């Protein structure tokens, strides 16, 4: 299994293009749905819980936890992503907007390119 991720910022989404090229390699098909994780952080636990509520309404499964040894909190949002329904750059921009609305930071996304169809769990 290969993990693929990109760090995003409001002014620089270029890494997504390179990642999409990697997903298009022989071991991954960009036309198929895949599991995706979106990573958010904040020093305010309440802000992440408000964000999580909005993400849950969009069908995401969520994990909220304190970053070990820090005062920072993180939210990991998981969902089956269909690139045909929403291009990755548009998804990232909408997550940046959502994060700004709740005063948290959207820091990255992650997916797996499985060696076999069952090698990446939704857990």
State the pLDDT at residue 26: 47
Nearest to 34 by CA among 88, 96, 107, 93: 88
Tell me how crowded residue 8 is: count the other CB atoms within 10 A of its CB: 26
At residue 5, the pLDDT reads 45
> pLDDT tens-digit profile of 10-28?
444 555 666 666 665 545 5
Q: Which tens digit of pLDDT belongs to each residue from 41-86?
A: 999 999 999 999 999 999 999 999 999 998 999 999 999 988 778 8
CA angle in degrees (0–180, nearest 5) for 86-88-89: 110
How far out from the chain centre does Cα 27 lie?
21
Name 58's Cβ contacts closer than 8 Å, sequence gap at least 6. Answer: 79
Residue with tokens 């849950």: 56
Residue matched to tokens 């949002």: 77
117 vs 92 pLDDT, higher one: 92
Over the stretch 93-111, which tens digit does the pLDDT of each residue have? 899 999 999 999 999 888 8
Q: Which of the two residues, 45 and 32, has the higher pLDDT score? A: 45
pTM above 0.85, yes or no: no
The tokens for 88 are: 């990755």
Q: Is pLDDT larger for residue 123 or for residue 107? A: 107
| Structural tokens at position 17 | 């293009």
């Amino acid at each position: 299994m290969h993990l693929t991720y990109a760090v995003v910022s409001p002014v620089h989404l270029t890494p997504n293009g390179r990642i999409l090229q990697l997903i298009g390699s022989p071991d991954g098909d960009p036309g198929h749905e895949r599991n995706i994780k979106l990573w958010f952080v904040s020093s305010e636990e309440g802000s992440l819980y408000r964000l999580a509520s909005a993400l849950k309404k969009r069908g995401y499964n969520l994990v909220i936890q304190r970053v070990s040894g820090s005062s920072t909190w993180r939210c990991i949002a998981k969902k089956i992503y269909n690139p045909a329904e929403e291009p990755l750059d548009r998804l990232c921009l909408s997550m940046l907007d959502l994060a700004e609305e709740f005063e948290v930071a959207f820091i990255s996304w992650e997916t797996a390119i499985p060696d076999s169809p069952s090698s990446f769990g939704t857990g």
